[in-house]
Protein backbone atom coordinates (compact mmCIF):
# COMPACT_ATOMS: atom_id res chain seq x y z
CA UNK A 1 0.00 0.00 0.00
CA UNK A 2 1.40 3.39 -0.97
CA UNK A 3 1.81 6.41 1.26
CA UNK A 4 -0.99 8.26 -0.58
CA UNK A 5 -3.46 5.48 0.09
CA UNK A 6 -2.62 5.29 3.79
CA UNK A 7 -2.43 9.06 4.31
CA UNK A 8 -5.59 10.00 2.44
CA UNK A 9 -7.48 6.89 3.57
CA UNK A 10 -6.84 7.81 7.19
CA UNK A 11 -8.00 11.37 6.59
CA UNK A 12 -11.18 10.19 4.86
CA UNK A 13 -12.09 8.35 8.05
CA UNK A 14 -11.11 11.25 10.32
CA UNK A 15 -12.96 13.85 8.26
CA UNK A 16 -16.03 11.60 8.22
CA UNK A 17 -15.89 11.55 12.02
CA UNK A 18 -15.43 15.33 12.11
CA UNK A 19 -18.48 15.73 9.85
CA UNK A 20 -20.52 13.37 12.04
CA UNK A 21 -19.66 15.37 15.15
CA UNK A 22 -20.86 18.55 13.45
CA UNK A 23 -24.48 17.39 13.32
CA UNK A 24 -25.08 18.83 16.82
CA UNK A 25 -23.42 22.12 15.86
CA UNK A 26 -25.50 25.32 15.55
CA UNK A 27 -24.70 25.41 11.81
CA UNK A 28 -24.24 21.77 10.72
CA UNK A 29 -25.08 22.37 7.05
CA UNK A 30 -21.98 24.54 6.68
CA UNK A 31 -19.50 22.35 8.56
CA UNK A 32 -20.74 18.97 7.34
CA UNK A 33 -20.41 20.37 3.80
CA UNK A 34 -16.88 21.66 4.46
CA UNK A 35 -15.75 18.31 5.83
CA UNK A 36 -17.58 16.63 2.93
CA UNK A 37 -15.45 18.60 0.47
CA UNK A 38 -12.34 17.56 2.41
CA UNK A 39 -13.48 13.93 2.15
CA UNK A 40 -13.93 14.25 -1.62
CA UNK A 41 -10.42 15.65 -2.11
CA UNK A 42 -8.96 12.97 0.16
CA UNK A 43 -10.73 10.29 -1.88
CA UNK A 44 -9.23 11.84 -5.02
CA UNK A 45 -5.81 11.88 -3.34
CA UNK A 46 -6.30 8.25 -2.37
CA UNK A 47 -6.66 7.49 -6.10
CA UNK A 48 -3.66 9.68 -6.97
CA UNK A 49 -5.75 12.46 -8.51
CA UNK A 50 -4.76 16.01 -7.56
CA UNK A 51 -6.79 18.63 -9.49
CA UNK A 52 -4.64 21.76 -9.43
CA UNK A 53 -7.18 24.61 -9.59
CA UNK A 54 -9.93 23.12 -7.39
CA UNK A 55 -7.37 22.06 -4.78
CA UNK A 56 -5.82 25.54 -4.82
CA UNK A 57 -9.26 27.10 -4.31
CA UNK A 58 -10.03 24.78 -1.38
CA UNK A 59 -6.71 25.46 0.35
CA UNK A 60 -7.04 29.23 -0.19
CA UNK A 61 -10.64 29.25 1.07
CA UNK A 62 -9.69 27.26 4.17
CA UNK A 63 -6.78 29.61 4.90
CA UNK A 64 -8.98 32.68 4.52
CA UNK A 65 -11.71 31.10 6.66
CA UNK A 66 -9.23 30.11 9.35
CA UNK A 67 -7.83 33.65 9.44
CA UNK A 68 -11.35 35.05 9.64
CA UNK A 69 -12.32 32.81 12.57
CA UNK A 70 -8.95 33.22 14.29
CA UNK A 71 -9.36 36.95 15.05
CA UNK A 72 -7.40 36.85 18.29
CA UNK A 73 -9.77 34.48 20.08
CA UNK A 74 -7.57 31.42 20.06
CA UNK A 75 -5.40 32.37 23.04
CA UNK A 76 -8.50 33.04 25.13
CA UNK A 77 -10.05 29.80 23.96
CA UNK A 78 -7.02 27.68 24.90
CA UNK A 79 -6.87 29.16 28.39
CA UNK A 80 -10.60 28.59 28.92
CA UNK A 81 -10.39 25.00 27.67
CA UNK A 82 -7.60 24.31 30.17
CA UNK A 83 -9.52 25.95 33.02
CA UNK A 84 -12.86 24.22 32.45
CA UNK A 85 -11.48 20.69 31.87
CA UNK A 86 -14.26 19.72 29.46
CA UNK A 87 -15.33 20.36 25.89
CA UNK A 88 -18.69 22.00 26.57
CA UNK A 89 -19.36 25.19 24.64
CA UNK A 90 -19.41 28.24 26.91
CA UNK A 91 -19.46 31.06 24.34
CA UNK A 92 -19.33 31.88 20.63
CA UNK A 93 -15.61 32.58 20.40
CA UNK A 94 -14.88 29.03 21.62
CA UNK A 95 -16.92 27.72 18.69
CA UNK A 96 -15.16 30.04 16.25
CA UNK A 97 -11.74 29.05 17.57
CA UNK A 98 -12.53 25.37 17.12
CA UNK A 99 -13.77 26.07 13.60
CA UNK A 100 -10.53 27.92 12.88
CA UNK A 101 -8.54 24.85 13.86
CA UNK A 102 -10.76 22.61 11.73
CA UNK A 103 -10.05 24.74 8.68
CA UNK A 104 -6.33 24.73 9.44
CA UNK A 105 -6.36 20.92 9.70
CA UNK A 106 -8.00 20.70 6.27
CA UNK A 107 -5.41 23.11 4.87
CA UNK A 108 -2.48 21.15 6.29
CA UNK A 109 -3.88 17.84 5.04
CA UNK A 110 -4.40 19.23 1.53
CA UNK A 111 -0.97 20.88 1.14
CA UNK A 112 0.92 17.69 0.11
CA UNK A 113 -1.64 17.10 -2.66
CA UNK A 114 -1.44 20.74 -3.71
CA UNK A 115 2.35 20.47 -4.00
CA UNK A 116 1.99 17.34 -6.15
CA UNK A 117 -0.61 19.09 -8.32
CA UNK A 118 1.66 22.07 -8.99
CA UNK A 119 4.71 19.87 -9.70
CA UNK A 120 2.94 18.14 -12.60
Name the band, by pLDDT with cuts 50, 70 and 90, for residue 116: very high
For residue 103, is pLDDT > 60? yes
Report pTM. Answer: 0.84
Distance, in Å, from the CA atom of 98 to the CA atom of 90, rounded to the nearest integer, reads 12
Distance, in Å, from the CA atom of 89 to the CA atom of 63, rounded to the nearest integer, reads 24
Name the band, by pLDDT with cuts 50, 70 and 90, for residue 37: very high
Amino acid sequence: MTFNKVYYGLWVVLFALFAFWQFNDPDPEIWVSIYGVAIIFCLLGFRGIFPKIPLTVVVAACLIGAAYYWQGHVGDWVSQEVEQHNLSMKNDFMEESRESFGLMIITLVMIPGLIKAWKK
